[in-house]
Amino acid sequence: MKGRQVVLGHLFGQEAAALMEDGQLVDLLVATDAVSSLAPGAICRAEADRFMKGQGGIFLRLPDGQTGYLRDRKGVSEGKPLLVQVAGVADDGKAVPLTTRLIFRGRHALVTPGKPGVNVSRQIRIEDRRDELEALGQEALGPRDYGLILRSASEGADDQDITDELAELVELADGVCAETSGKPELLLDAPTPWEQAWMDWAEPVPDAIEEGEDSFERCGVLEAVDSLLAAQIALPGGGDAYIETTRALVAVDVNTGNDTSIAAGLKVNIALARELPRQLALRGLGGQIVVDFAPMPKRDRATLDQVLGAAFRNAGAETTLVGWTAMGLYELNRKRDRVPLARLATASGEA
């Protein structure tokens, strides 16, 4: 189907949501109940456990006997409770990454306690509307030392809808931020895939919203997921690439296929560079990533660097493009913001 579709359904026995554009899967959200009780975005009261000497971080005790890790221990004392938010995904047997910078998400706004100031999305360029939204934010916050970010979805939204949501978010933040004493406890669960789809995919307005038991099959989501669970991906021009994971890193190997022309290496490498952000996001892969690009002249590396920079500029998850190694491999580091798709499939017994 042409256009933008939001598809609500189930995958691996869990609630899931998919965003399709012109028949291509561009985003996928799957509930992680089968592998973790704390999804990214969940807010907990934790208890400081022990400092990591020489590393600057501290381990924290979380609900259900889980262990978390906080990199910035400034102002944290051992044995004391503190509020934290799950900041990413941990591999099996590792501590859950945490942050003390809480964010309360809504469709039109984000509330950030302890980070005062009202900011309006740069995508909203009409100055009068920016001023109106800033005034709504200031009124909603009152004397609190909270911060507020008005999202792009607020540009065309009704002021009353924005005001109502801001009141709910501020009240929620007040309640959670008051829970500063007691044993480790989950205070606010992460949004479900359907809730997150409503918050993040409402703008631009989708051409269709598909629901039902067969929605994923009917809209081509299941076929796309099957492709994501395979290591090989086909690239334009006849080349291909393999994306494979180890405990230490994600390895990507790029091949030219049957193309034996002089520019074959650069062409297939550019194709992979443009596709890589989508593949990593949909597969839920992060951490250290090493790419073995197809052979090409060293003089073409500058061109590929530009393509990679443009591809990852608006890729969502925080990504650091480290660069080329002495062996001619390319390194990057991507934040682990989702549970790997293959891990969810394995947990469900469908892998």
Task: Give domain limits for the chain.
Answer: 1-31+192-227, 43-99, 104-191, 229-344
Query: pLDDT digits over 204-231, tens only?
Result: 889 999 999 999 999 999 999 999 999 9
Reported confidence tier of residue 2, pLDDT bands at 50, 70, 90:
confident
Topology of domain 104-191 in CATH is Ribosomal Protein S5; domain 2 (3.30.230)
Task: Provide CB contacts within 8 A for 30, sequence distance 6+.
Answer: 11, 12, 14, 15, 16, 193, 339, 341, 344
Q: 27: which DSSP letter?
A: E
Is residue 351 very low, low, confident or very high in pLDDT (cuts 50, 70, 90)? low
Amino acid found at 246: T
Domain 43-99 class, CATH top level:
mainly beta
Confidence of residue 62 (pLDDT cuts 50, 70, 90): very high
pLDDT tens profile 91-130 = 877 899 999 999 999 999 999 999 999 999 999 999 999 9
Give the whole-angstrom CA distance, residue 162 versus residue 316.
24
What is the CATH code of the structural domain delimited by 229-344?
A: 3.40.630
Number of Cβ within 10 Å of residue 39's Cβ equals 20
Residue 87: other Cβ atoms inside 10 A = 21
For residue 39, pLDDT beyond 70: yes
Cα separation, 170 vs 113, in Å, equals 9
d(CA 82, CA 76): 8
Q: Any idea what DSSP says for residue 18?
A: E
Q: How confident is the model at residue 316 (pLDDT cuts 50, 70, 90)?
A: confident
Whole-number pLDDT of residue 51: 84
CA 229 to chain centre: 19
Give the span between the Cα atoms of 319 and 333, in whole angstroms.
6
Q: What is the pLDDT of residue 54?
A: 65
Q: Among the listed ranges 185-189, 203-207, 208-212, 314-318, which one has the minimum average pLDDT value? A: 314-318
Per cent of the chain over pLDDT 90 is 84
